[in-house]
Amino acid sequence: MKDEIRYKLGRNIKAERIRKDITQEEFAEMIDMSLSYVSKLEQGLTSPTAIALFKMSKALKIPMEKFFDGIGDDIYEY
More confident residue, 63 or 75: 63
Pairwise CA distance, residues 74 & 35, whole Å: 32
For residue 77, pLDDT over 80 is answered with: no
Q: What pLDDT, in 10s, does the model give residues 5-34?
A: 999 999 999 999 999 999 999 999 999 999
Q: What is the 3-state secondary structure (H, E, C) of 20-36?
A: CCCCHHHHHHHCCCCHH
| DSSP annotation of 38 | H
pLDDT score, position 73: 65
CB 24 within 8 Å of CB 38? yes
Pairwise CA distance, residues 77 & 59, whole Å: 31
Of 10-19, 41-50, 56-65, 68-77, least confident by mean pLDDT is: 68-77
Average pLDDT, the chain: 92
Q: Give me the domains of the chain, ranges plus CATH numbers.
A: 2-61 (1.10.260.40)
